[in-house]
Chain A
Amino acid sequence: MYEITDLTKTYAAQGRTVRALDGVSLRIGAGELVSVQGPTGGGKSTLLQMLGAMDRPSSGTVVLDGTDLTTASDRVLAEVRARTIGFVFQGFNLIPTLTAQENVETALVPARVPGAERAERARAALASVGLGDRGHHLPVELSGGQQQRVAIARALVKNPAVLLADEPTGNLDEETRDEIVELLEGLWHDGLTVVMVTHDSAVARRAERRLRIAGGTVSELTPAART
């Protein structure tokens, strides 16, 4: 699935250069459930942005199913994000003025899915995360856990090849956290590749494969050496 080779990303911040990723090489296979842990500023989110085709590295390559995301055009990257990658944000990132149903539908807009089919697939996605009766609610009318479920439904509705989750349980209480993790595990069991960044070791331990990133470098916490 992912072939990451000598990946480096540097930022200019406050007059100095910050090396967020420093020569990362990594391979993630299809159907894996991978957790990425590490301290704040260690490069977790930057790595996820590279995997999610949202930013370009300073050097190195990221290849997703044969597509080099480092050299692809903006149009191709948008197409990859629209069809291949599902992304779950830590802060849910729902559009506050749209209902749960409409928020899920936004993920199908770039794929030009017709309106009726879009609505039907959004309803099904919401039902799959247990929110079949909450489609007409605005985000502000939903709990944190429900909002994260809507965000997961939005990521899943396009039937992506990989699900990238950035701190998916970061803003949730313990009970809700477990529900979300079970949901992600269920998706993994159904064959979806899942990569999640988390601070929570309890969550990370439930992953098949655990990575740690600190100072821009990645290390395996699980025995299987895949780099």
Chain B
Amino acid sequence: MTVSTIPLDRTAPVGFSKGPALALIVLLLAAGLPLVTQDSFFIHSAIMVLFFAYMATAWNFLCGYVGQLSLGHAMFSGMGGYVSVLLFTTFGLSPWLGMIVGGLAAAALSVVIGYPTFRLKGPYFTLTTIAFAEIVRIWVENTDTFLGFHIKGAEGLVVPMVGESFAAFQFGGKIPYYYIILGMLALAILATLIMERSKLGYCLKAIRGDRDAAEALGISPTRYTLTAFAISAFMTALGGSFYAQFFRYINPERNMGTELSIDMALMSIIGGQGTAFGPLIGALILTPLAEVTRGYLGGTFLGLHLVIYGIVLMLAVLYFPKGVLEPLKNLAVGLFRRRNPA
């Protein structure tokens, strides 16, 4: 069959020619950031922005395009983190390889979970993803040793220092981590852009639009959603490994807790799910809030950033159901037109 029979989303390919150029400029500007400032707090915050943008992009790869809401993605992040840390501490395997192993394991887990659950609709699917993630988290929190690996339960794992080494994913300053996560984000967005214009992307959009109609056209919803789920889980696990290596510490609460799942989902939803750059916009808006309240207000206003996240999420659901990317784009186009009347 040909995919051209599926009606194309007219809003998506606008600026197809300008988009990549603009993205390249933004990427170059981001790459130049450490030349402008080397302030440790600032670089740390920038890393967190990029990390959450990356995680939201990974979440969006599946959920944004299929239109299912997963609130369990943190389990893949935790899996990637734990596998890479354990392989490093037990066998001395480089985290670069360990994160790939963790990613593949997460992808396998996603297929096992996704195969039965994708038939569930709307809130039922969401509740199932929460249940799976909670099972994994509770299990890790209460397991000391598994197959000879010391998981150490709720206590978490510390990545031992071995000195500056590229192979061990340990660097002196924060700037190398900045470039690594920037590269990961660029690749994730590139993967999303390629997927959008591939058969997979068109099929996912068809499934989101009308699952039964898509199936009638010969698109196998299971096959395409599972492919996207596996890729999304793989990317999420890489992010989880990065997080573990960056903080040199991993525990079930931070790496596979519900809060992380919600963060990933709400950043892409607020930015604009189902768009390649929406999750980045969402993370750019929200993460600095978290970093500033954490950095300047310290422990006095614990949880303030999550209150703001909650309010922004409610406003976005009510007034910008497609995320803020589209209204922002329209605003930019409007301003541009006004200045250069055609």
A is bound by B: no
